[in-house]
Structure 1
Amino acid sequence: MKVLSEERKYSAQDFERLPEGPPYYQLINGELIKNPTPEVIHQKVAGRLLYLLHKLEKETKISTAIHLIDLYLDEKNVFQLDIAVLLKEGKAKVEEKGIFGPPDVVVEILSPSTAYYDLIVKKAGVKEYWLLDPNRKTFEIYKNTEEGFKLTSQAREKGKVFSEILGLEIDLKDIYEGGI
């Protein structure tokens, strides 16, 4: 990940003037951060998980599950999420530019270049935070509690995880099978 300028602080309006598509950027504390295009394994894992979430959309309380979308938190923070899940009764709003307000579930798939931001800064206000590591074949689900984020479900290489918010059990073989 590359910081474009250490001297100037940027705003959400500056962020919106960037061209669409690769290279991808995030606005973190007023700094434009350039992200490389995700690796193939990252994209495959995201696609498999998104497929499961889209199937669930038709049957449950999920309003929408969106891949690679910008989350506008404030004037100095616009994050690019791997997957955002919004519930029908949730507070976040989807607009043409992105999501405004915290989604109910944020899914981040670790990449070497974005791991710091995925682990530290993208949890603001979400009910559940899912963290997947394709290289280690792990899947962790954290629930936002009064004491902070608590690990509620995890699996490595095989097994299942359970999302309390969505009432969904996910088998790791459905996410990690097939390699790249």
Structure 2
Amino acid sequence: MGLNVPTVSTGKKYTIEDYLKLDDGQSYELIEGELILVPRPRTKHQKIANRFFANLDRFVLMNNLGEVNGDVDVYLEEEVVAPDVFFVAKERLTIVGEMNIQGAPDLVVEVLSPSTARYDRKKKSRLYFRNGVKEYWLADPDQQLVEVLVAGEKEWKWIGVFDREDILTSNLLPGLEINLGEIFR
């Protein structure tokens, strides 16, 4: 069973320059030279992403830790992704531009959907690790679970899976507590 994410299959290896020329009103990501059409999120997906954003943003602003953003182009070498929610630490805010992010966020949250789950777990996971993302959360709206991965020396270290009865914390953001019952309500 292959990835269910629609790719624009022309046999061509796409570049950042090709990506920048796109102007058809669709959302794309560029990974390994493949142009990937990203479907618009469903309402449940967006509500969960918004709740993660609100929780992270409130904590980060209150503690002057950096910036939380989402659904904005993130340029990683010759690849472009748009994570659902992400955090960039204060000391790295130089990567945040007006139009996009030029480098890896510190924390990425991807809300899985049926069409992107395998893609988020495999290709994006490798891309994020290779480019220096420190923490990666995969939120599954259907199972109401969050899987937490932390960058190790050579690969992701699996921290665990948390459900709606848990309070999600982060070594990257000490003091952060997210009630997953509120996220998945």
Q: Does the TM-score normalized on the shorter chain lie above 0.5?
A: yes
Q: Does 1:171 align with 2:171?
A: no
Query: Corresponding residue for 2:84?
Result: 82
How many Å apart are 1:92 and its aligned residue?
6.4
Any conservation in 1 of the 2:65–2:90 contact (CA below 8 Å)? yes
How many Å apart are 1:158 and its aligned residue?
1.7
Query: Corresponding residue for 1:10?
Result: 14
Q: Which structure 2 residues correspond to residues 111-122 of structure 1 after superposition, within 5 A? A: 111-122=113-124
Q: CA–CA distance in 1 between the matches of 2:24 and 2:165?
A: 37
How many Å apart are 1:105 and its aligned residue?
0.3
Q: CA–CA distance in 2 between the matches of 1:137 and 1:131?
A: 11
C-alpha RMSD over aligned residues: 1.7
Q: Tell me the secondary structure at the aligned position of residue 40 of structure 2.
A: coil
Q: CA–CA distance in 1 between the matches of 2:24 and 2:171?
A: 35
Amino acid at match of 2:138: L
Any conservation in 2 of the 1:49–1:175 contact (CA below 8 Å)? yes
Q: CA–CA distance in 2 between the matches of 1:156 and 1:140?
A: 9
Query: Corresponding residue for 2:150?
Result: 143
Q: CA–CA distance in 1 between the matches of 2:9 and 2:117?
A: 20
Q: Identity percentage over the alignment?
A: 38
Gapped regions of structure 2 (runs ≥ 5): none
How many Å apart are 1:96 and its aligned residue?
2.6
How many Å apart are 1:19 and its aligned residue?
2.6
Q: CA–CA distance in 2 between the matches of 1:151 and 1:112?
A: 22
For residue 37 of structure 2, the aligned residue among 28, 34, 37 is 34
Q: Does 1:58 align with 2:61?
A: yes
Q: CA–CA distance in 2 between the matches of 1:40 and 1:135?
A: 13
User: For the structure 1 residues 92 and 134, does the alpha-carbon distance in structure 2 shift closer, same or farther, using more than 3 Å as the test?
Assistant: farther
Higher strand residue share: 1
How many Å apart are 1:138 and its aligned residue?
0.2
Q: CA–CA distance in 2 between the matches of 1:107 and 1:16?
A: 24
How many Å apart are 1:20 and its aligned residue?
7.5
User: For the structure 1 residues 96 and 14, does the alpha-carbon distance in structure 2 shift closer, same or farther, using more than 3 Å as the test?
Assistant: farther
How many Å apart are 1:25 and its aligned residue?
0.5
How many Å apart are 1:5 and its aligned residue?
2.3
